[in-house]
Structure 1
Amino acid sequence: MSDHGKDHGTDPAVPADVPTTVPEPPYYAVVFTSRRTDDDPDGYSGTAARLSRLVRDVPGFLGEDSAHTPGGLAISVAYFRDLAGIERWRQHPEHLAAKRHGREHWFERYAIHIARVEHSHAFQRS
């Protein structure tokens, strides 16, 4: 199993509504829950797509899942092999700029939770 995101659900050919492949534990899950403002919706989408491509090159990145409700709640989960990968992403210059812009324009509120995953499994109907 690779420690680099390309093997774990980050294939652009896989639809966004398909969960990422379950990595072998232990690994870390970064859960980002947010409620957006109505400010700059086009800029947000482009930035989110750009960041989703950039994070794939961060050593230790394993994949990501996201979901959005019609009411504006968004939940994104990024999976990393280790805390060092999370820190590399946290300090990435484009990610830092997007966070600043997000606090100023895009988000009414958000929360970030980082958890170590000790067990995981998946099911897929054949």
Structure 2
Amino acid sequence: MNPNRQPPCYAVIFTSTQTDSLEGYAEMSARMQELAGQQAGFLGVESFRSPAGTGVTISYWKDLSSIQAWRENPEHQTAQQLGKQQWYQDFTIEVAKIETACHFSKDES
């Protein structure tokens, strides 16, 4: 478990289906990860895409005010608009509070 991500904290779960028009997407995605990492309250991010094409990005935040500040970041708002106009067929955003967490690793046994 990421030592910076101690409960309680929040997870923003972004689930998406992309369009076929992905010009500029990789660059913007990399920039958003870089920018999020500079935001107060940011605790980390994980992202994957299923073979069927569904993408899931989970960003972790200290509190709801940190999430709100990220949502209102002007550069992030530009990326959101481009996503709606060009890159995503659909997406869902969910925010969950993480109350507890546990971790197992054979390497730590």
Residue identity in the other structure for 1:123: F
Q: Is there any run of 5+ residues in structure 1 with no aligned partner, and where?
A: 1-19
Which structure has more relative contact order (CA 8 Å, sep 6+)? It is 2
Give the TM-score taking structure 1 as reference length: 0.80
Matched pairs, number: 106
Answer 1 or 2: which has greater strand percent: 2
Aligned to 1:98: 79
**d(CA) in 2 for partners of 1:120 and 1:94?**
32
Gaps of 5+ in 2: none
Task: Using the TM superposition, name which of 65-74 and 100-109 deviates more.
Answer: 65-74
> 2-side partners of 1:31 and 1:108: how far apart?
17
Which of residues 51, 57, 61 in structure 2 aligns to 1:80? 61
Identity %: 36
Q: Does 1:119 align with 2:107?
A: no
SS for the counterpart of 1:58 is: coil
Q: Distance in 2 between matches of 1:45 and 1:86?
A: 23
Which residue number in structure 2 is paired with residue 31 of structure 1?
A: 13
TM-score normalised by L of structure 2: 0.92
Aligned-pair Cα RMSD in Å: 1.2
